[in-house]
Amino acid sequence: MHSIAASIMCGDQLNLGQELRKLEEAAVDLLHCDVMDGSFVNNLAMGPYVLEQIKERTSIPLDIHLATEQPSKYIDMFAPLQPKYISFHVEVCEQIEKDIEKIKGYGIEPVLAVNPESPIEMIKPYLSMVPMLLIMTVNPGFAGQRFNHHVLEKLVVLSKLIETMENKPLIEVDGNINVTTVPALIDRGANVFVLGTSALFNHQKGTYEQKVNEIRELFEKRRI
CB 69 within 8 A of CB 46: no
Name the CATH code of domain 3-223 (choices 3.90.550.10, 3.90.1150.10, 3.20.20.70, 3.10.310.30). 3.20.20.70
Q: Is the pLDDT of residue 44 over 60?
A: yes
Share of the chain above pLDDT 90, in %: 92
Q: Domains of the chain: which residue ranges?
A: 3-223
| Band of residue 203 on the pLDDT scale cut at 50, 70, 90 | confident
Residues 83-128 have pLDDT tens digits of 999 999 999 998 999 999 999 999 999 999 999 999 999 999 999 9
For residues 67-72, average pLDDT: 96
CB-based contact 36:222 (threshold 8 Å): no
Encode pLDDT of 3-31 as tens digits.
999 999 999 999 999 999 999 999 999 99
Q: Provide the pLDDT confidence category of residue 165 given band limits of 50, 70 and 90.
A: very high
pLDDT score of 224 more than 60: no
Across the range 187-194, mean pLDDT stands at: 97
Q: What is the average per-residue pLDDT within 142-146?
A: 78
pLDDT surpassing 90 at residue 221? no
Give the pLDDT score at 181: 97
SS3 labels along the chain: CCEEEEEHHHCCCCCHHHHHHHHHHCCCCEEEEEEEECCCCCCEECCHHHHHHHHHHCCCCEEEEEECCCHHHHHHHHHHHCCCEEEEEHHHCCCHHHHHHHHHHCCCEEEEEECCCCCHHHCHHHHHHCCEEEEECCCCCCCCCCCCCCHHHHHHHHHHHHCCCCCCCEEEEECCCCCCCHHHHHHCCCCEEEECCCCCCCCCCCCHHHHHHHHHHHHHHHHC
> Does this model's pTM top 0.85?
yes
Query: Smallest Cα–Cα separation from 171: which of 211, 130, 216?
Result: 130
pLDDT of residue 24: 98
Active site residues: 34, 174
Residue % of the chain over a pLDDT of 70: 100
